[in-house]
Amino acid sequence: MTASSTRSKTAALMSNYGVRPISLVRGKGVYVYDDMGKEYLDFTAGIAVSALGHAHPQLTSVLQEQVATLIHTSNLYRTPWQEQLAERLQVLSGLDKVMFCNSGTEANEAALKLARRHAYLKGEKNRTEIVSLPKAFHGRTMGALSITPKPQYHEGYKPLVPGCFTPETYEGAVDIISENTAACIVEVVQGEGGVNLVPPATLHAIAEQCKRVGALLIIDEVQTGVGRCGSFLAHHQFDLQPDIVTMAKGLGGGVPIGAVLAKEDVAAAFTPGAHGTTFGGNPLAMAAGLTVTEVVSQPAFLAHVSEVGAYLRDAMQRFGTEVSGLGLMLGMTVADAKQFVAEAAAAGVLLTAVSEQRVRVVPPLIIEKIDVDEMVKRLESLKA
């Protein structure tokens, strides 16, 4: 199978992703290559997905074997790999139960349903509201979109799901979490919102208010999780005890996957038939998840993420201001993010613009300091 040249166009695809000027056809480690043979340092990692980089030997061989064994069966049947990964995530997260789906959006959608149904089954019929934070991003389906307060994403899609509220400030969440709140959903570091670390004191105030009024705390670890921030889940660094955690992105190392994790009494609201998915938890995704978690959960691997993350953060000071984030989830401010990203790509470094002035840097977690040095060398060439 060959990909089309960067210069070719097709009228067959919808236009929702705009113009995509680079056509990537191959990857190895932290490098990807386009159809003209140009090499790029991949500091986007498929939007914080490719935790083990590209063509990782262990992941490749596990997936090859799984493809030759069994790819999909559906949730009509037991899937041993699903049970293994659930048990692994139980230990790594400290939560009790796991349900698999196929993306971050789906995980959040399921979390919202779980929170509402948990209240409903307790007889709290008015406890339906969901509170989210300013600059949050939780996905694009109607539920996830309704807790993603970016006006551009809402245009043309109203009415959104009722009962979803976002205050003007992070601290404002504490004031609107009430006896009618089913759950408040937070990201510890907001990726799409500009790589903003939500102040830990505010996260604690939100958690306390949730506890006081009997609302659930959902932590969206779709982007921050699976070692990205230097701990298996980012909230482990902040002593928070969520009722529900959502995961996706890095968990499959590139194979689509999502997961909702919950405390036992909350998870109990998903009684047989209450929620479901055809693909969620299929053997291929589970084999990927088992391999990625085995590598990423090693203390030495997580220490490596923190160490290289600190090195990368230092390096980024040369090219931008307001460098922020945790571990290998970093962002910086530049004059014109789109232009910076385009020039960086021309110099052989893939980065992502998340707003007009914010650039996100989320390389594969396997990067080494030498790769950061190479990034610096390539970006320095832009200044010449």
* Site residues, ligand PLP (CB under 6 A): 47, 103-105, 108, 137-139, 187, 191-192, 220, 222-223, 248
Cβ–Cβ under 8 Å, residues 273 and 73: no
The C-alpha atoms of residue 174 and residue 211 are separated, in whole angstroms, by: 11
CB count within 10 Å of CB 25 equals 15
Question: Is the CB of 108 or the CB of 357 nearer to ligand PLP?
Answer: 108
Residue 148 vs 291, nearer CB to ligand PLP: 148
| Shortest distance in whole angstroms from residue 122 CB to ligand PLP | 27
Closer residue to ligand PLP (CB): 222 or 332: 222
CB of 47 to ligand PLP, least distance (A): 6
Task: Report d(CA 134, CA 334) in Å as an integer.
Answer: 22
At residue 306, what is the residue type?
Answer: S
**Closest separation in Å from C-beta 295 to ligand PLP:** 21
Give the residue with the Cβ less far from ligand PLP, 129 or 220: 220
Q: Which two tokens stand for residue 63?
A: 């997936």
Which of residues 296 and 372 has its CB atom nearest to ligand PLP in the complex? 296
Residue type, 44: T
Are the C-beta atoms of 370 and 315 separated by less than 8 Å? no
Taking the least distance from each CB to ligand PLP, the nearer of 138 and 235 is: 138
Residue nearest ligand PLP, Cβ-based? 104
Token pair for 60 = 């490749």
Least distance CB 221 / ligand PLP (angstroms): 8
C-alpha span between 220 and 78 (Å, rounded): 27
Minimum separation from the CB atom of position 218 to ligand PLP (A): 11
What is the SS3 assignment for 316?
helix
Give least dist CB 300 to ligand PLP, A: 27
3-class SS string, 259-292: EEEECHHHHCCCCCCCCCCCCCCCHHHHHHHHHH
